[in-house]
Structure 1
């Protein structure tokens, strides 16, 4: 019985420099027994130093490779038509002084942004007015309102970003993680389209 070969490209793969990428690395395969295992070990691409950090592998490259070994195989292709392979080059150790300077810059900048916002909306006067409405007394510094409000801002930021340092509060992704995910998707789509344009230009 001639069962079809089901294959589905993964979305992304991370490899080391000089790695040999096999079919099993970039595809999910379903076929009968030994042939599936043999296909999973089939080399598809050898990472070269000139490739840079990102490599786009097209489904047509995969089909061509499979056809060279099993020309009569019935193929059932599902999922994406490209996979992005990221080459993980060794990274330099972060400069501690630079990290501290960036952290201070971001901390001071965020603090100034919050203070400027509160100045624009006259938050101090709002607190004074609320204090007067509750107690009937005027107070230029209603600390029992301002201190809990300041603590609430910090707790709100923790809940918003869903992290306490590196500890996640719950399994729900934070808005920042969602934005980074969408940014990565857009970036991958750009690389794929850019690669296709380069391939079209290189055709005779």
Structure 2
């Protein structure tokens, strides 16, 4: 029986700077050879400072390297054809002043956006009309309607984003998470296109 190894590359991994990548780091491996563990520890790439924050391991180049080392074994690549390697760098400590400034800016901006929206749709007049229809009295500030509406607006945003701090209400992703996922997919496609060794050589 022909000795055969199947490889499925991991889509994205995170490693430390100057990490020596082994085959098991970037791929799931299975096959019918007796001692498959020797392939797990095959050294395939040394992360260097030139890689900066990200590197791409291409499946074609990986197969070429494997065939040179094990010419008697048949290798087959299934699934994705590239692995994106995120390289961890030393992070600076968070600046409390910067975080506070950004937090205040976002809060003020969000509040202004909500207020401007309510002004554009004449929310005050709408609430006054609702209060008049429900009670038959004309009131300039129907607080019994406005206060529950304000709490409901905040609660609705919490339910919409499906989070209170780190607590999640259910397993369904929030719209923000879906958008972040789509953004990450586009970013991965860009990295594969521009950071791939084969693509760079073709340019």
What TM bracket, shorter-length normalisation? over 0.9
CA contact (8 A) 2:55 2:86 kept: yes
* SS of equivalent to 1:94: coil
Separation in 2 of the partners of 1:34 and 1:25?
21
Matches within 5 A, 1:49-128: 49-128=49-128
Partner of 1:185: 185
Q: How far did 1:33 drift? A: 5.9
In structure 2, relative to structure 1, the CA distance for the partners of 1:149 and 1:62 (3 Å cut) is: same
Separation in 1 of the partners of 2:149 and 2:53?
47
Partner of 2:159: 159
Separation in 1 of the partners of 2:115 and 2:35?
66
* SS of equivalent to 2:67: helix
Matches within 5 A, 1:127-166: 127-166=127-166
Separation in 1 of the partners of 2:80 and 2:171?
27
What TM-score, normalized by structure 1, do the two folds share? 0.94
Partner of 1:18: 18
* SS of equivalent to 2:92: coil
Q: How far did 1:76 drift? A: 2.3
* SS of equivalent to 2:91: coil
Separation in 1 of the partners of 2:42 and 2:26?
11
Separation in 1 of the partners of 2:122 and 2:36?
68
Matches within 5 A, 1:18-37: 18-32=18-32, 34-37=34-37
Deviations 1:163-202 (A, max 9, x none): 101211211111111111111110110111113442213x
Partner of 2:202: 200
Deviations 1:89-132 (A, max 9, x none): 01101100110111011001100100000000000100000010
Separation in 1 of the partners of 2:176 and 2:138?
41
What TM-score, normalized by structure 2, do the two folds share? 0.95
Pairwise CA RMSD: 1.2
Separation in 2 of the partners of 1:123 and 1:173?
31
Q: How far did 1:34 drift? A: 4.9
Q: How far did 1:12 drift? A: 0.3
Separation in 2 of the partners of 1:197 and 1:5?
26
Separation in 1 of the partners of 2:67 and 2:43?
13
* SS of equivalent to 2:21: strand
